[in-house]
Amino acid sequence: MSTLTYCKSFASTNLLDSYNAAISERSSNVTPDSGGRKKRGVGEHTRFWTPGRTLKVLIFKYNEHSFEAVKNGAIKWSPYINLNFEFLEMDEEDIYNSEEFLGDIRVNFQPLLKNSGSSRIGTDALTGHPHDASMHLGTYFSSPGYEGMVTHEFGHALGLQHEHQHPDAGIPWDREKTYDYYARTGGLSRQEVDANVFPFDRIPGQTYTPYDRQSVMHYDVLDELTLGDRQLTASWSISEGDIAFIKKAYP
């Protein structure tokens, strides 16, 4: 069976903290819906940053390649967003000596992740302890797909979800084989596979953009993990659909 690069977005440990961080950052993260409710419930909010602001990206010092590897992947979004990135690098000891959030997005490195990563979604990075990284990246910096993986993780950091989980993706997953595969290759639990691989439920009243097969937020899909004959290769490049969506999110 083939091996694929995957990422694991991770939720805030406290749903109410996530909600409060989102609406404190940007009130439109909770908007009226077509059903007449004044505001969506906790858990249905988006997690976008305030347009025009500068996001401070704190990178835990790792080696001579790590800082540029993160920066090069992140700035792929810069032409399309009304946001600025400020990158800084610090030793772990100096970070742990502070009790403040030294970065809006905080990036550390875990060799076991190899060419994969994980990230909080958007403003969820403002929750939890200031010492906690909001993004974890592997250390295979010379891998051909590494920059695209970083771009994917920064898509999450900007508030984007996985595109292969779009309610209209129509991917015929073989669920038991998929659970088994991700448990063996990535150590993901069944709950983590549900959260990062299988389609989202459609929320009544929410508007969806069309499913984008070419999105940088789309996983590889192995034929061995689907029913019938269905295999999709991730592009790891920002698509036209990604550009259209992110420009609306950050006008």
**1 domain residue, yes or no:** no
Per-residue pLDDT band for 139 (boundaries 50, 70, 90) equals very high
Find, among 170, 160, 138, 162, the residue nearest to 250 by Cα.
160
Expressed as residue numbers, the domain containing 229 is: 7-249
**2 domain residue, yes or no:** no
105: which residues sit within 8 A by CB, 6+ positions away?
55, 56, 57, 58, 125, 134, 135, 154, 157
User: Which pTM value belongs to this model?
Assistant: 0.91
Assess contact for 85 and 75: CB atoms under 8 A: yes
**97 domain residue, yes or no:** yes
Mean of all residue pLDDT scores within the chain: 89
Assess contact for 15 and 123: CB atoms under 8 A: no
**30 domain residue, yes or no:** yes
Question: What CATH number should be reported for the domain holding residue 156?
Answer: 3.40.390.10
What is the number of domains present in the chain?
1
Q: Please provide the distance, in angstroms rounded to a whole number, between the alpha carbons at the two ends of the chain.
A: 43
**184 domain residue, yes or no:** yes
pLDDT at 130: 87
pLDDT in tens, 89-130: 999 999 999 888 899 999 999 998 888 899 999 999 999 888
Assess contact for 157 and 119: CB atoms under 8 A: yes
In a 10 Å sphere around its CB, with 0-12 CB exposed, 13-18 middle and 19+ buried, how is residue 123 labelled?
buried
**134 domain residue, yes or no:** yes
pLDDT in tens, 167-204: 999 999 999 999 999 999 888 899 999 989 999 988 77
pLDDT at 152: 95
DSSP state of 128: S
pLDDT in tens, 54-82: 999 999 999 999 999 999 999 999 999 99
**109 domain residue, yes or no:** yes
- What pairing do the DSSP bridges indicate for beta strands 84-90 and 54-60? parallel
**37 domain residue, yes or no:** yes
User: Within 10 Å of residue 75's Cβ, how many Cβ atoms?
Assistant: 14
